[in-house]
Structure 1
Amino acid sequence: MSRTLIIAEAGVNHNGRMDLAYRLIDVAAEAGADYVKFQTWKSENVISKHAPKAEYQKETTGEEESMLEMEKKLEFPFENFLLLKQYCEKRGIGFMSTPFDIESARFLFSLGIDIMKIPSGEITNLPFLEVLAESPCPLILSTGMCEMSEIEDAVRILRSKGNPEITVLHCNTQYPTPMQDVNLRAMLTIREQLRLPVGLSDHSLGIEVPIAAVAMGAEVIEKHFTLSREMEGPDHKASLEPSEMARMVAAIRNVEMALGDPQKHVTASEQGNIEVARKSIIASRRIRKGEIFGPDNLTTKRPGTGLSPMRWYEVVGTVAKRDFEEDELIEI
């Protein structure tokens, strides 16, 4: 199996502070993720002053401020992302950011990013998708809150300008996602119907779901992380803490190795166990030269260094060419 692309989703868990953003990059790099991903937007381009918060946002940040006011506090100016990209290069981890408006998407293109992520909320935003279809780099499309027909429409639009490199992520946008709503098998349906690489953008608690997704064939895993779930902000409570992110990455790499190849064969590590665990045809009692071998004087026991029991009927009925002691390996 090829290496799973692991995206550590910092998102807005920097709380609008560059020092926290740098620390998040450090955590993602130390955990072994391939990319750390932020979010890029201009609040006035994305959110009307009348837009309500999501219920999980109300639970985590209160209802006193509007969504626009909340997002404005979390918004980074464009110049910050160049600094973050440079710091990612210094730490040896890929930089990504999700745009939420056309101006932000074009800015990210100008940075020379090598992968562009399209968020679930923009999957029905036709003008936005048409701009993303011009992407010079591969696209990753999240599909939270989607029916299959909506995903098909979005993929058709993204392909309209000839971009063939699209990976589709199964996703549920509830933070956190209840286990009964994860619905991992839908990822396989997406792969089958669209014939595209698939993955998972996971918002469930813990690390079990992304590990299971890799075992099922996910080629990309995206998972939110934070410095601490006790921090204030909309997404911290549904995010992994640093040690959990590191465990998730390690577990995914182990699963990749464990999946191996589709051929069943004896591995190098177990080769030496064959002689210990298998059996041979041996004398069940003392046998004299000239006796006929049969069930009355033969049995099978370890070790497996003699004649295989699969040759039982080659041995039964033949004549002993010499004496054999009890438990001695039979020769013919």
Structure 2
Amino acid sequence: MFRKDVLDESPFVIAEVGQNHQGDLDIAREYIRIYAFEGADAIKFQTRNNRYLFSEDAYAAGYDSENAFAETYGAHREKLELKPEWLPILKADCEKHGVKFMSTPFDEPSLEILQQIDVDLLKVASFDLGNLPFLNRIAKLGKPVVMSIGGGKIEQIRSSVEVVLKHHDQFAILHCVSEYPCEYNRLGLDNIEVLIKEFPDCIIGSSDHFNGTLSGPIAYMKGARVFEKHVTLNRAWKGTDHSFALEPDGFRKFVRDIKRVRAMMPQKPADEIGNERVFKKLGKSIIAYSDIRVGEELTLDKLSGRIFNTHYIPVRESNKVLGKTVKRDIAKGEPIQYSDFG
């Protein structure tokens, strides 16, 4: 899937739900239905075992935020988690709607659960870039892996890539800036070309937290082929990731415009240039700007253009008639024809 000879020039677009499902199974299932329809290739969630992931102090820490779902951070996170028994339901929904089921494991117990349900794709969050023991456990499963590199130094990226590639080459590296949201002038999309040069055998992509759609087509032009974009059903919902995520229509346009880029690049066939419908209808033909006598030379001050129902010499071909000597008298306003100086 993520080998260059397989993906080729085709974009692969991931709708990142994250925890924007608000900890509600019905909402999570609605994300799958809607974003599969809007063009996603994979629907991605996040999987955590918060008791394992956080220390007791970090779990019990107070959380005072307008986006808090509970008074402590651990309880807040638990409100937003998908229950393990829901994951097979979501995977089945993805199969039903023709998209890949994808999730980010944030810890080893979560990775084990995703392995048990036979997740289609695994995502490595920027937080785990350089976490070589965990990356090794992820790659050993043999599932296609997508890794974001937000906040990563090149030596951290290199060592992470090396660990994954020891196991398999179903691997995509996503340029990412770990700012939420990320302003347009902080996207740094030139780094995609740097990654392509550094890792020529890997698929390179883009994961961005920009609240618009233009980043997708530009990233494609830079060489990205895998795209991850946060999605929401309502930007006004409570939560840290809703405000910069794309709603369904925005995501539809994001996918559409990425896929259009390839078709925008080839030049128009030469034999079609100048034969467009608008020129056939409204194209000007060369006329005499003033009376021209037999034997006179056609010069710039003797010619003009006019629209006729019948086409004569197009004005854009005036370079072909300048300097020619006419064989007949041509009245002012009369069209010039090649036979007049053949």
SS of residue paired to 1:117: strand
2:17 maps to what in 1?
10
SS of residue paired to 2:298: coil
- Aligned-pair CA distance for 1:63: 8.5
SS of residue paired to 2:67: helix
* Aligned amino acid, residue 301 of structure 1: G
Q: Using the TM superposition, name which of 275-284 and 26-35 deviates more.
A: 275-284
1:294 maps to what in 2?
298
* Structure-to-structure mapping, 1:1-332, within 5 angstroms: 2-51=9-58, 58=65, 60-61=67-68, 64-66=71-73, 68-161=74-167, 163-195=168-200, 196-257=202-263, 259-261=264-266, 263=267, 265-266=269-270, 271-275=276-280, 281-288=286-293, 290-295=294-299, 298-299=302-303, 301=305, 305-306=312-313, 308-312=317-321, 316-320=323-327, 322-326=328-332, 327-331=334-338, 332=342
SS of residue paired to 2:58: coil
* Residue 238 to residue 306, structure 1, CA distance change in 2 (3 Å): closer
- Supply the distance in 2 between the matched residues of 1:267 and 1:147 (Cα, whole angstroms): 50
- Supply the distance in 1 between the matched residues of 2:82 and 2:215 (Cα, whole angstroms): 31
Render the CA deviation track for 1:22-61: whole Å, top value 9, x for unaligned.
121122123222221111232233222233899x994522
- Aligned-pair CA distance for 1:267: 8.4
- Supply the distance in 2 between the matched residues of 1:319 and 1:53 (Cα, whole angstroms): 96
- Supply the distance in 2 between the matched residues of 1:285 and 1:207 (Cα, whole angstroms): 55
Render the CA deviation track for 1:255-301: whole Å, top value 9, x for unaligned.
454x332x45458696334556766554333344x414332784253
Q: Is the 8 Å Cα contact of residues 283 and 297 (structure 1) preserved in structure 2? A: no
- Aligned-pair CA distance for 1:202: 1.4
Quote the RMSD (CA, aligned, Å).
3.3
Q: Using the TM superposition, name which of 22-31 and 236-245 deviates more.
A: 236-245
Render the CA deviation track for 1:36-92: whole Å, top value 9, x for unaligned.
1111232233222233899x99452288312x3332332223332111011122223
Q: Using the TM superposition, name which of 228-237 and 298-307 deviates more.
A: 298-307
- Supply the distance in 2 between the matched residues of 1:119 and 1:194 (Cα, whole angstroms): 19
Q: How many residue pairs get matched?
A: 323
Q: Is the 8 Å Cα contact of residues 277 and 302 (structure 1) preserved in structure 2? A: no
SS of residue paired to 2:321: helix
* Residue 207 to residue 296, structure 1, CA distance change in 2 (3 Å): closer
- Supply the distance in 2 between the matched residues of 1:198 and 1:267 (Cα, whole angstroms): 37
* Residue 222 to residue 168, structure 1, CA distance change in 2 (3 Å): same
